[in-house]
């Protein structure tokens, strides 16, 4: 049997890394098993679903390299859900519920006051046809509730093992709202069946939904898929990750210069999956991934670990790959040869962008720490001598040796002032490597900029 899995986002916010982990695990499982990875947009919540979020989610998935084999949109399938609800009504497995929001809130309040979880009390379950007509004549539009029978619902979860829920705890639940749109649990079952989904891989927060869904599967005579619930990903304070917190959205990480492969690598490690090493490319991730190998323990999102992995991947990547990723991020073409100079000094793609002015601009921006360093008299002396040496005709690549002879200085006392003057910063690649890539006019312009203004108005830092 062909493996089929799906990712089913709601377009109510940006894709955060917790959901990115789920989509990655589905994708890896499908690719490893030679199956199909499908996408389903769950947009039946008309008030909270927005097309711009759907577009953003699809863009983020493409950026991650997680292409899908098919897609559907729930808002285009409403008649299908209504037909199945009608079938359950006809077979006595569901019934119309005429309760108002105020009545339902009162039930909820009474349950909470009694120390019980909120559940529907079943008051519309046994309404006569005459009572239903009367309520309809009052202008009440019914929802449709699934009729929950006694006993318990049990299933085997591929991550958490055997699970059982008492049906009496659930109460009769809504499958079709008053506006005839389906609820999550109902639409989920119908779509998973019609899409041929064999494995439902989703977050642990959906465990309580599973017994309700199994009841619907069984009432409609659908075969059950296998279920695998993934422990949730939290921040350092133990809070679930949010779609609206930029630092933990895929979009936010992309804008910070994180690589798709580094993010995927980190998300695989967060599953507790055993691998030969921590730094993995796509093929290594596919080889290491095992659904049954995912840990039951929750995981904490640690940006420092992700940054370390990003740095490792940047050092492994080919120059043209880095150039392609950076060009996409910046929206302009970037010369890959220039990037090689900075490879050992960067953690993210944005770090490359921060270093590029050293080679691309006549005079790069001056960072504050470099400005302060150049205010010292010793630094000013070094810069002034360097300017005279270059103006005398010494080529940039010979400047360091000429300065050692002319000043008698070496080490930090010589290199730091020159680095600050020539690059506008106090960190970066070897100064000699930078000088070999600069022409004399740029060197002269930068040294002049670094000199403190004299009383005659000479322009400097």
> How many C-beta atoms surround the C-beta of residue 301 within 10 A?
20
As a whole number of angstroms, the distance between CA 381 and CA 258 comes to: 41
Cα 325–29–283 angle (5° rounding)? 45
Residue 152 is a catalytic residue:
no
As a whole number of angstroms, the distance between CA 104 and CA 190 comes to: 26
**Cα distances (angstroms) measured from residue 199 to each of 90, 114, 229, 243, 323:** 30, 39, 10, 25, 38
Tokens of 325: 């990723």
Q: In which residue are the tokens 């010494």 written?
A: 394
Please report which helix (H) or strand (E) contains residue 446, including its range. Answer: helix 440-450
457 Cα distance to chain centroid: 52
Sign of dihedral through CA atoms 432, 436, 438, 440? positive
Contact (Cβ atoms closer than 8 angstroms) between residue 142 and residue 113: no
Question: In whole angstroms, how large is the CA radius of gyration of the chain?
Answer: 31
10 Cα distance to chain centroid: 14
Residue 300: HSE in the Cβ half-sphere, 13 Å Cα cutoff: 8
Burial class (CB in 10 A: 0-12, 13-18, 19+), 63: middle
32, 243, 409, 448: the catalytic one is 243
As a whole number of angstroms, the distance between CA 457 and CA 459 comes to: 6
As a whole number of angstroms, the distance between CA 43 and CA 49 comes to: 6
Known catalytic residues?
A: 243
């Amino acid at each position: 049997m062909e493996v089929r899995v799906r990712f089913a986002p709601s377009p109510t916010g940006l894709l955060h890394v917790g959901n990115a982990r789920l989509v990655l695990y589905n994708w890896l499982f499908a690719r490893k098993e030679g199956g199909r990875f499908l996408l389903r947009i769950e947009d039946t919540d008309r008030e909270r679903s927005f097309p711009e979020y759907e577009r953003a989610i699809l863009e983020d998935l493409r950026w991650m390299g997680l292409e899908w084999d098919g897609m559907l949109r729930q808002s285009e399938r409403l008649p299908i859900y209504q037909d199945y609800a009608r079938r359950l009504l006809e077979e006595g497995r569901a019934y119309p519920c005429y309760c108002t929001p105020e009545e339902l809130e009162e039930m909820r309040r009474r349950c909470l006051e009694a120390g019980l979880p909120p559940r529907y009390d079943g008051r519309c379950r046994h309404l006569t046809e005459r009572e239903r007509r009367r309520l309809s004549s009052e202008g009440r539009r019914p929802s449709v509730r699934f009729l929950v029978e006694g006993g318990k619902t049990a299933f085997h979860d591929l991550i958490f093992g055997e699970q059982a829920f008492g049906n009496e705890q659930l109460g009769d639940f809504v499958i079709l709202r008053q506006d005839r749109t389906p609820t999550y649990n109902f639409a989920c079952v119908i779509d998973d069946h019609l899409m041929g989904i064999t494995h439902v891989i989703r977050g642990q927060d959906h465990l309580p939904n599973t017994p309700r869904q199994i009841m619907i599967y069984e009432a409609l005579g659908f075969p059950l898929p296998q279920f695998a619930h993934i422990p949730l990903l939290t921040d350092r304070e133990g809070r679930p990750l949010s779609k609206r917190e930029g630092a933990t959205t895929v979009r936010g990480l992309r804008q910070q210069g994180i690589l798709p492969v580094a993010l995927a690598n980190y998300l695989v490690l967060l599953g507790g999956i055993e691998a030969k090493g921590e730094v993995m490319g796509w093929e290594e991730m596919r080889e290491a991934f095992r659904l049954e190998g995912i840990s039951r323990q929750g995981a904490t999102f640690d940006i420092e670990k992700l940054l370390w992995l990003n740095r490792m991947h940047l050092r492994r990547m080919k120059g043209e790959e880095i150039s392609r990723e950076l060009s996409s991020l910046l929206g302009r073409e970037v010369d890959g040869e220039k990037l090689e100079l900075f490879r050992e000094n960067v953690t993210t793609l944005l770090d490359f962008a921060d270093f590029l002015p050293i080679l691309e601009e006549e005079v790069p921006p001056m960072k504050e720490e470099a400005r302060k360093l150049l205010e010292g008299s010793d630094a000013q002396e070094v810069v002034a001598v360097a300017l005279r040496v270059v103006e005398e005709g010494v080529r940039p690549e010979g400047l360091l040796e000429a300065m050692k002879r002319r000043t008698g200085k070496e080490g930090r006392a010589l290199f730091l002032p020159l680095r600050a003057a020539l690059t506008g910063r106090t960190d970066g690649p070897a100064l000699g490597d930078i000088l070999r890539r600069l022409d004399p006019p740029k060197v002269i312009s930068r040294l002049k900029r670094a000199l403190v203004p004299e009383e005659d108005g000479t322009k400097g830092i």
